[in-house]
Amino acid sequence: MNDRLPEHAGAAGPVSARIARLRDEMARLGLAAYVVPSSDPHLSEYLPERWQGRQWLSGFTGSVGTLVVTADFAGVWVDSRYWVQAEAQLAGTGIQLMKMMAGQQSQPHVEWLAQHLAPGACVGVDGAVLGLAQARALSDGLEAAGIPLRTDEDLLDAVWPERPALPANAVFEHALPYASAARADKLAQIRRVMGEKGAQWHFVSTLDDLAWLFNLRGADVNFNPVFVAHALIGLEEARLFVGAGKVSRELADALARDGVQIAPYEQAGAALAALPAGATLLIDPRRITLGLREAVADGVRIVEAVNPSTFAKSRKTSEQAEQVRATMEQDGAALAEFFAWFETALGRGEAITELTIDERITALRARRPGFVSPSFATIAGFNANGAMPHYRATQASHASIAGNGLLLIDSGGQYLSGTTDITRVVPVGSITEAHQRDFTLVLKGMIALSRTQFPRGIRAPMLDAIARAPIWEAGVDYGHGTGHGVGYFLNVHEGPQVISHYAPAEPFTAMEAGMITSVEPGIYRPGQWGVRIENLVLARLEAETEFGAFLAFETLTLCPIDTRCIARELLREDERAWLNAYHETVRTRLDPHVSGDAKAWLHTRTQPI
């Protein structure tokens, strides 16, 4: 979860000076307002530094938010996950925090613009980084108020003197046996879907789709092993548009043998413009920018549908599932070593901070086979810091682990054989009954969803209430989704499934066998503590009856859940049985991979209750 401000950002001066330069450029172009989304030409969740303009202009480093600037106003719209962080980072900048409700599907900044600008006032946004679906909503909302929209200007180039260049990291092959299907087979699979939809061409911009489809990986985005590129796939050929020098001659030759030609990154738009009249192009309106859509010639027929690769990569093969199970054993062993060290060091009174935790976990994972990098920036939040779901400790602001309370640790690793993401909460010193109650409610929610059986194809957002029910029963809720898809040595967040009642339950969100998803309910007490317990689970076929096929979740993550935090009287017998069986599995699977203090810790923390 890359919420860091680029290191070079401070060189351009304070936020107020940057906003002033932007306003000067707006005035030169006759723009009454300019919108800066948190996106790039690939609509990535986490951005290469070149497109972190919203961060650079505002100083707010959260991964989601929209900046709007007018001649006399500047505001950043963020949801409740980022309110505390944004309030602190925007203080004194002259930029207002504009609060959105969690899961809000509308674009409230559009409503604000429509209400505060006079008819005829022009709004600008860079169409090269604006999603097509978002562009349609923005255009419709402004048009109803008589406000024109310009999408042909990237003002960042004019106001950001040290704007980073495109990333130049090398692309490398994710080879067999880690990649369980050959590149040619994946292309054939995509072409079959293209044929079913009557499309001769398919354009892909999303980086994890490209990495999966071509069995390639890169390092252009922190924590996500992807590379900046586009692809145009025909029935007989494919072109991969990527920066010069990123693909070696040897790799280019291997791609060519599978019918994939390398082309310059900047020629993607021209290739779309050159498609012949009468051709049919398949695009995903949620995963292509307005700028690239507008490059397509008028004579080309457009078919809009979810990228076929989005579905394909979400359904892990049996070979990938086996690789992930083995990866979880290595990841769990590293965590056992970490927690054994942590408890011993804490008992000796050693100085430990939230930063220490990040450093130690990463170092221990790095010793494990196949480890590449963390899968996001570790969240280690002690007491009140744990109440911020997207908290990030920094050198300038972090807590020491001392005294009494709860420590929340959310971390993960990228391995050649899978991606991990886990959250655990542990006690420090003495904890209260209130701590234990919140912890147990969250645990009950996690158990409820982890052990549920459900019809194949049920829309994933509908499963959210199962995890929330024990928490709702206590009159408590949390402001984020319960689960997100997880890639296979790819992005730690992937779709199409998402377990969140904040998300629309559309047909493409259906839960299918092979999908890996997080289960992570939580409770957050602002200014006090936070609890979140997270495992990754694999959806698999459980039963077939006269009512159809039913799926269930296999828990993949292997790490004890700290029983010292449990209010045992709140757990039913069946819940205790689930927890004890889980801990027996954790002990059995991890035992061969640990020794010494880590083995002793593992056996202590997996004792039945």
Going by C-alpha positions, the residue among 540, 555, 521 that lies closest to residue 445 is: 521
- The mean per-residue pLDDT over the stretch 263-284 comes to 97
Q: In angstroms, rounded to a whole number, what is the distance separating the alpha carbons of residues 143 and 139? A: 6
Give the model confidence (pLDDT) of 448-507 as tens digits.
999 999 999 999 999 999 999 999 999 999 999 999 999 999 999 999 999 999 999 999
Please measure the distance between the N-terminal and C-terminal CA atoms of the chain and give it in whole angstroms.
34
Task: Quote the pTM value.
Answer: 0.92
Instruction: Answer whether the bond into residue 496 is a cis peptide, omega within 30°.
Output: yes
Name the pLDDT band for 9 (thresholds 50, 70, 90). Answer: very low
Q: Is the pLDDT of residue 20 over 50?
A: yes
Give the model's pLDDT for residue 506.
93
Give the model confidence (pLDDT) of 402-449 as tens digits.
999 999 999 999 999 999 999 999 999 999 999 999 999 999 999 999
Q: In angstroms, rounded to a whole number, what is the distance separating the alpha carbons of residues 365 and 23? A: 46
Going by C-alpha positions, the residue among 228, 166, 240, 174 that lies closest to residue 203 is: 240
Looking at the DSSP bridge assignments, the partners of residue 410 are 379, 423
Domains with residue ranges and CATH for the chain: 9-159 (3.40.350.10), 172-312 (3.40.350.10), 315-602 (3.90.230.10)
Name the pLDDT band for 604 (thresholds 50, 70, 90). Answer: very high
| Structure token pair of residue 369 | 């086979």
Name the pLDDT band for 106 (thresholds 50, 70, 90). Answer: low
Give the model confidence (pLDDT) of 301-335 as tens digits.
999 999 999 999 999 999 999 999 999 999 999 99
Write the single-letter amino acid at 570.
L
Q: In angstroms, rounded to a whole number, what is the distance separating the alpha carbons of residues 204 and 206? A: 6
- Determine what percent of the chain is predicted with pLDDT higher than 90: 91
Give the model's pLDDT for residue 1.
37
Residues 6+ apart with CB under 8 A from 229: 171, 207, 210, 240, 241, 242, 243, 265
On whether the CB atoms of residues 397 and 349 are closer than 8 A, the answer is: no
Pairing mode, strands 516-519 and 74-78: unpaired
**Angle at CA of residue 155, ends 149 and 156, nearest 5°:** 135
Give the model confidence (pLDDT) of 151-183 as tens digits.
999 999 999 999 999 999 999 999 888 998 999
Give the model's pLDDT for residue 31.
97
